[in-house]
Amino acid sequence: MENTDIDWNLEWKLRMERNEAQKGSGCSSYWDTRESALKFYESSFEDGGERVNWIVGNIPYTPDSRILDVGAGPGTIAIPLAGRAATVTAVEPSPAMAGVLREKIAENGIQNITVVEKPWEDVDPGSDLNPPYDIVFASFSLGMHDLWEAVDKMNSVCRGRVLVFHFAGGNSWEPMMRELWPVMHGEEFHPGPKADIIFNLLYSKGIYPDIVSAPHSYRLDYKSIDDAVNEFGKRLNAETEEHYDILRKYFSEKLEQDPQTGEYFMNMRSRKMCISWDSPGK
């Protein structure tokens, strides 16, 4: 049932701001390196690329489709789609992510991807894009604070289907954050907004989307416990030796060891959701 007493755009913004203020620059700076962007790209295609295949499988492209990818990252979805559609425009604000995307475009000899290196909020459809697009989608990339405006812009440049992929409930690493953040920082962890807010915001705009939900699981692999400690130390804003001791104890207990390779791994689980609708101008 629609709740008209809640400003869902404000709720989205407040949860984004609270989560970002708590984490500071730790999480965003972690992803804004070539090493991390490349690791993200490569890990997306491990174990058969289940997440990529699920996303691509939910996008109703045709060989003639003109597609806009909002928050394209290093190209995990844009690269596969380029071989199946007419054109792909990839909007990506992170220099590291956009850099790896351009590398992959060159490596694969792709001619039909255009990269726009800007935040979606700063994109001018008249000068930065070439609308209308048949498909506009954002895959786990809704980092903007004003979701109402972001959706309006997606609708304005689309003549077909708009799709948003996001987490339903907690994402896979939030249980870790909820457990470790209070121990390390003495306060409750505040996660970012989830798919329920997106659905309610769309509903309040008079958009009644289709929903597809599915479980998502993947494996984190590390050559050593210290590798895991160093990676999540950045995400968890570890600053002191005590913080790193807490992380070492945690990963020593949680990581499993592969008996054949001697390397360590952790199975991660979450639930993903595809929220899609016909653009008002269709």
Instruction: Kindly report, residue by residue over 147-193, the tens digit of the pLDDT.
Output: 999 999 999 999 999 999 999 977 778 889 999 999 999 999 999 99
Are 147 and 12 a contacting pair, CB within 8 Å? Answer: yes
Quote the CA–CA distance of 18 and 26 in Å, as a whole number. 14
Q: How far apart are CA 183 and CA 194, in angstroms?
A: 24
| Lookup result for tokens 């996001």 | 166
Q: Tell me how far apart the alpha carbons of residues 56 and 174 are, in angstroms, rounded to a whole number.
A: 25
Enumerate residues 6+ apart whose C-beta is below 8 A from 239.
none
Quick check: 25 pLDDT over 70?
no
Average pLDDT over residues 223-246: 93
Quick one: CA dihedral 214, 152, 85, 119, positive or negative? negative
Model pLDDT, residue 28: 45
Segment 199-219, tens digit of pLDDT: 999 999 999 999 999 998 888
pLDDT value for 40: 87
**One-character DSSP codes across 103-152:** HHHHHTT--SEEEE-S-GGG--HHHH----EEEEEEES----S-HHHHHH
Q: Give CA–CA dist 132/118, Å, rounded.
A: 19
What interhelical angle do 8-23 and 195-204 show, nearest 10? 150
Collapse the DSSP code of 174 into the 3-class scheme (helix H, G, I; strand E, B; otherwise coil) and give the result.
Answer: helix
For residues 140-154, one letter each, b for 16 or more C-beta atoms within 10 angstroms of the residue's C-beta and e for the rest, the string is bbbbbbebbebbebb
